[in-house]
Amino acid sequence: MAEIKYIGGYPEYMRKIIEKVEKTREKRLGYTPAAMSMKERDEVLKIHPDFAPGGKREILVGPNKGERGSNEVVDLLEAYPLVDAGDIDLSRVDYETKILIIGGGLAGTSAALWANDKGIKPQDILLTNKLRHGDANSIMAEGGTQAADREVDSPDLHFLDTIGGGHFANKPDVVRALVEDAPLVIKWLCELGAIFDREANGDLVEKLAGGISRRRMHSCRDYTGLEEFRVLRDEFRSREISYLEHYPVIELLTDAKRVTGALLWNLETGEYKIVKAQATIIATGGYGRLHIRGFPTTNHYGATFDGVVLAYRVGARLRDIDAVQYHPTGAAYPLQIVGHLLTEKLRGSGAQPVNCDGEAFVYALEPRDVEAASFIRECYVRDKGIVTPTGLRGVWLDTPLIDLKNGRGFIEKEFPGMMRMYTRYEIDMSKDPVLVFPTLHYQNGGIETDPWGKTNIEGLWVAGEVSGGVHGKNRLMGNSTLDCLVFGRRSGIDTAEYVKSGNKKNSAKLTFDHLKIYVQSLKEAGVKPTRRAPILLPDYRGKAALARMIDVF
Amino acid sequence: MEEIKNPVMDIIAEANRSATSGIDAKDIKDWITISIMGRAYKVPADLTILAAMEYAGYKFVRGVGCRQGFCGACATVFRKKGEYKLQTGMACGTRAEDGMHLAQIPFTPAEKASYDLTKEPYSASVLIKYYPEVARCVSCNTCTKACPQDLEVMDYVQAALRGDFELLATDSFDCIQCGLCALRCPSEIVQYHVAQLGRRLYGYYGLGVPEHLKKRVEEIEKGRYAKALDTVIAFSNDELRKQYVGRDIEPEQ
């Protein structure tokens, strides 16, 4: 086979298509395609994976019975537990804690710190992690965190932007909490020593993003989540709060009415442990690794929907679980980074989507669902996409425009993470465009809460991506890290108050009674016991190796 | 009722099959051989070390995290064909090459100090107090060579010793805390923990809380926006839509 010749990271044939992008670049520098009308938006959304037929079905059991969700999601809601209740000895408690936090991303770690601030001792909090403390989507957040803290901005404008972006389906009381606390959590991070991008006078740098009406995006280069998280983790470790790693929760425990603890499983040795807790916070993040509709994902390895599965079995109500966010700009080339995130901040800084003829075919900052659908249409309906050597299609994101608009060296300074990702594959994104296609990004809906993260089940709180309501049907950029920080804080404070005021204390029983009911309902609905959940991790082992595997240990 | 399938969605799913459900040998033309912890495996060419190991049959519970270069979980040490040099990188961002020998590093058992920022002075002495070994730097630059982010690690260690917090923060900012610098350091310095403390001191003392942010938090606490929020939260859906469509958009800077 003839060797493919690569020039600057691209095969020769793609290089020829790039020439068309270069030819029109100067003309496009002063040109912005018009934003779509509401009617045009509706039209293009027909091809969005959420609305294209064949992806969803009705949920047969549980509190949201009769509502619809993605097949991959409903598969896990309609799955049997990993363990048989009778095989687990609940009489020996391994850890007794006041507050159990499941999941150590931004939300869980914030919750721990605020509970500690409210008087709960470090040894009375237990944070469990499926993988390492910080293996979370939080740490991968690139673009920023929203907070209305400039004179021309206000929390009520942030409220309107969030609700409009969510297609008016958001739960208003939690959105209010989100926007009202936003400046406070940014201040909290500054006081803990987080380094946000600053203007020369010390003010915070604030940028626009898709669907927001004021510049209010706070960033830390393109490592916003990393900086926010590692500061919180450092503080958490300094306070010596208890935590466990590689210990996923595989079932909650209840006394039939309220959540009283959890069943932990050592991911490496297989041994189980029993935790008894007065209050439990689920902060397990989202579901990108379910690869809904066969899309690649921006999410971390452990984003497998565990928290919702566990909470649903104890009767927690879900909302907006049918709404999946596909980020418009996932990498489509090279193969090694397919699905990885290219931050919206690139388009916010002037990068333009361009088709194979070098045309700017869409306004760059439509809401994420509209933008993503327009890319799919360009590639698969209008046939104006670019085909990669492995048969994927994508459109160009013309990144060299950023330096042309903002001055040379801007990309390198503002997007070191993005530059690094492409440099590894010999592509210089400040000189050449990069190929993008929508990628599975965010769980818009989840477990319903009140403004303090409290669910309809006593003893159970949730925070972060696992929750539903605050983003409605579509989350805006910069509202996910904010969601984690605000509702991590609120759930930490609320659980602290709950355990301080409570007389429920430690007489609570630990049972699997809720599971018996759930399993019964699965049987009654005719669900065959072929699926088990939570799945904990995706499986990417090669088909050839799997076909000859003997499971001995 | 049976739903109509969407051909576009099926085409997209099929094109992404390798990335979403494990690679099928029949889709692969080019192959290489790599040695994983001393054992040879034939794997598809053009994969990252992480994906190549998965193809070989490894299901990770350690040495894997975000898979995209942000979390620092998949530190790997490797040697290329015909070379004597041991190199380091992240398994998620390093291409597997024919003849490569490799092993993953599951954990770095380095100690992190406990401190309260607000009770420390803004001086290099803090870094030396909590991480005294930082003074043992022999300027060998091994840390810099080990860094998968290509940071100037030795330079920031020297900046730490001089108390140049701004340079320390700037040069170490893209650190993903994978631990490779510390594992390679002959002076037993834990560079990434030193940098974390240094950055926080710089953020707390060097930058502080900006005035406009302090002011806004005070205003919210005093209830300046309570009425406006009471109003928007009470809007009907129609009124919300009207307000949303009618709101003015601030131009780009």
Domain annotation covers residue A173:
no
Active site positions of A, annotated: 327, 347
Contacts of B228 in chain A (CB under 8 A): 154-156
Flag if A545 and B57 touch (Cβ within 8 Å).
Answer: yes
The CATH class of the B28-104 domain is alpha beta
How far is it, in rounded angstroms, from Cα A421 to Cα A432? 14
* C-alpha torsion angle, residues B69, B70, B71, B74 (rounded to 10): 10
B169–A contact, CB cutoff 8 A: yes
**Together in a domain, A277 and A334:** no
Q: Do A221 and B173 touch (CB under 8 A)?
A: yes
Optimal mutation site among A57, A301, A386, interface B, most CBs of chain B within 10 A: A301
- β-pairing, A434-443 vs A324-331, is antiparallel
**If pLDDT is split at 50, 70 and 90, which confidence band does B206 have?**
very high
Task: Tell whether A379 is covered by a domain.
Answer: yes
Contact A1, B29 (CB under 8 A): yes
In-domain check, residue A200: no
Which tokens belong to B62? 């350690």
Question: For A326-354, b where at least 16 C-beta lie within 10 A, e where not — what string?
Answer: bbbbbbbbbbbbbbbbbbbbbbbbbbbbb
Record: contact A417-B174, CB cut-off 8 A? yes
Q: Are A334 and A319 members of one domain?
A: no
**Is A52 close to B9, i.e. CB distance below 8 A?**
yes
Instruction: Report the range of poorest mean pLDDT among A28-32, A271-275, A451-455, B32-36.
Output: A28-32
Cα separations (Å) of A93 from A125, A276, A382, A499? 16, 7, 61, 19
A243 with A350, same domain: the answer is no
Q: How far apart are CA A171 and CA A161, in angstroms?
A: 14
How does strand A393-398 pair with strand A434-443?
A: antiparallel
Residues A313 and A451 in one domain: yes
- Which pTM does this prediction carry? 0.97
The minimal CB distance from A238 to the residues B12, B56, B115 is found for B115
How many Å lie between the alpha carbon of B186 and the closest alpha carbon of chain A?
Answer: 25
pLDDT at A1: 43
Beta bridge partners of A146: A217
Domain span at A125 = 85-140+232-323+444-507
Does the beta-carbon distance from A195 to B169 stay under 8 Å?
A: yes
Check CB contact under 8 Å for A198 and B14.
no
B253 interfacial to chain A (CB closer than 8 Å): yes
Q: Phi and psi (nearest 5°) for A69?
A: -150, 170
CA atoms within 13 A of residue A21's CA, in its CB half-sphere: 27
- Across the interface, of A168, A238, A542, the residue whose CB is closest to B57 is A542
Which of B4, B5, B16 should one mutate to test binding to chain A, selecting the residue with the greatest count of A CBs within 10 A? B16
Give residues 127 to 146 of B whose Cβ lies within 8 Å of A: none
Question: What is the band of B52 on the pLDDT scale with cuts at 50, 70, 90?
Answer: very high
**B54 close contact with A: CB closer than 8 A:** yes
Name the residue of chain A whose CA is nearest to B96's CA.
A336
pLDDT digits (tens, 9 = 90+) for A10-25: 999 999 999 999 999 9
Does A300 contact B65 at a Cβ distance shorter than 8 Å? yes
Instruction: Using the predicted structure, report yes or no on whether residue A544 has a pLDDT greater than 50.
Output: yes
3-class DSSP state for residue A447? strand
| Minimum Cα–Cα distance from A165: chain B residue | B244
Query: Cβ contact (<8 Å) for A54 and B3?
Result: yes
Q: Using a CB-CB distance cutoff of 8 angstroms, which residues of chain A are in contact with residue B2?
A: none
Instruction: Provide the number of structural domains found in chain A.
Output: 2
Q: Is the ipTM of this complex over 0.85?
A: yes
Please tell me which residue, A161 or B4, carries the higher pLDDT value: A161
- A451 in the same domain as A317: yes
* Contact between chains at A541 and B4 (C-beta distance less than 8 A): no
The strand pairing partners of A52, in sequence order, are none
Q: Which chain A residues touch B15 with a CB distance below 8 Å?
A: 390-393
**Adjacent-strand bridge partners of A249:** A264
Res. B1 pLDDT band, cuts 50 70 90: very low
How far, in Å, CA of A391 to CA of A126, rounded? 47
Helix, coil or strand: residue A468: strand
Fold of B117-207: Fumarate Reductase Iron-sulfur Protein; Chain B, domain 2 (1.10.1060)
Q: Which residue blocks in chain B are alpha helix, DSSP H?
A: 7-15, 17-21, 49-56, 124-130, 142-146, 153-162, 165-172, 180-184, 191-201, 211-221, 226-234, 237-246
Residue of A nearest to B234 (CA): A172
The predicted structure's pLDDT at residue A210: 86
- pLDDT at A464 > cutoff 70: yes
Helices (H), A351-477: 368-380, 400-406, 410-414, 416-423
Identify the CATH number of the domain in which residue A394 sits.
Answer: 3.90.700.10
Collect all residues with Cβ–Cβ distance below 8 Å to A492 and sequence separation of at least 6: A99, A110, A111, A112, A113, A114, A115, A116, A117, A118, A281
* Residue ranges, CATH 1.10.1060.10, chain B: 117-207
The tokens 């990669």 sit on which residue?
Answer: A388
- Residue with token string 């903002």: A406
Give the pLDDT score at A367: 85
On the question of pLDDT at A169 being above 60, the answer is yes
* Domain presence at residue A221: no
Environment class of A373 (CB within 10 Å of its CB; exposed 0-12, middle 13-18, buried 19+): buried
Chain-wide mean pLDDT for chain A? 95
What pLDDT was estimated at residue A504? 60
CATH code of the domain in which A104 resides: 3.50.50.60
Which residues have C-beta within 8 Å of that of residue B224, sequence separation ≥ 6?
A: none
The percent of residues above 70 in pLDDT, for chain B, comes to 98
Same-domain status, A348 and A358: yes
Please answer whether residues A197 and A215 qualify as being in contact, where contact means their C-beta atoms are separated by less than 8 angstroms.
no
Do A378 and A456 belong together in one domain? Answer: no
d(CA A367, CA B134): 48
Whether residues A131 and B64 touch (CB distance < 8 A) is answered with: yes
**Among chain B residues, CA nearest to A417:** B174
Sign of CA dihedral A182, A328, A367, A197: positive
Q: What is the pLDDT of residue B253?
A: 67
In-domain check, residue A2? no
Strand A352-354 and strand A393-398: pairing?
antiparallel
- SS3 for A318? strand
* Whether A351 and A494 share a structural domain: no
Residue A108 lies in a domain: yes
Q: Which of B15, B233, B243 sits opposite A172 (nearest CB)?
A: B233
CA distances (Å), origin A167, targets A52, A368, A451 = 18, 12, 20
Determine, for residues A300 and B66 on separate chains, whether the beta-carbon distance falls below 8 Å: yes
In whole angstroms, what is the distance from residue A100 CA to residue A126 CA? 5
On whether both A256 and A294 belong to a single domain, the answer is yes
Work out the minimum CA distance from B110 to partner chain A, whole angstroms.
Answer: 13
Q: What is the pLDDT of residue A79?
A: 98
| Structural domain includes residue A70 | no
Contact B50, B74 (CB under 8 A): yes
Q: Is B196 on the interface with A (CB under 8 A)?
A: yes
Q: Are A289 and A413 within one domain? A: no
Are A287 and A354 contained in the same domain?
no
Cβ neighbors of A173 (< 8 A, separation 6 or more) are A450, A451, B233
User: Measured between alpha carbons, how far is residue A319 from residues A63, A68, A170, A259 in Å?
Assistant: 10, 10, 10, 20
Looking at the complex, report in whole angstroms how far the Cα of residue A258 sits from the nearest Cα belonging to chain B.
Answer: 31
Cβ distance of A154 and B225 shorter than 8 Å? yes
Chain A contact present for B39, CB below 8 A = no
Whether residues A40 and A104 share a domain: the answer is no
Q: Which residue of A has its CA nearest to B6?
A: A53
Report how far residue A298's alpha carbon sits from residue A145's, in angstroms, rounded to the nearest whole number: 18
| Residue count (chain A) | 553
Q: pLDDT, tens digit, for every residue of A310-342? A: 999 999 999 999 999 999 999 999 999 999 999
Give Cα separations from A135 to A54, A265, A468, B252 (angstroms). 33, 17, 21, 34
Q: What is the mean pLDDT of residues A520-531?
A: 97
Question: A252 in helix, strand or coil?
Answer: strand
Determine phi and psi for A113, rounding to 5 degrees: -65, -40
Cα angle, residue A292 at apex, residues A544 and B58 outer, rounded to 5°: 30
- Average pLDDT of the residues of chain B: 95
Distance (Å, whole) CA B197 – CA B175: 13
Is A71 within 8 Å of A321 (Cβ atoms)?
no
What is the pairing mode between strands A242-244 and A249-254?
unpaired
Pairing of strands A259-265, A249-254: antiparallel
Q: Is B56 on the interface with A (CB under 8 A)?
A: yes
Q: Is residue A104 part of a domain?
A: yes
- Tokens matching residue B131: 């991480």
Are A301 and B70 inside 8 Å of each other by CB?
no
Out of A156, A300, A542, the one facing B232 most closely (by C-beta) is A156
Residues of A with Cβ-Cβ distance to B211 under 8 angstroms = 202-203
pLDDT at B172 over 80: yes
Rounded to the nearest angstrom, the minimum Cα separation between B237 and chain A is 7
Helix (H) or strand (E) holding A331: strand A324-331
Instruction: With CA atoms as reference, report the closest residue to A312 among A61, A513, A55.
Output: A61
What is the average pLDDT across A266-283? 97
Closest CA to B51 of A424, A338, A223, A390: A338
Give span(s): CATH 3.10.20.30, chain B: 28-104
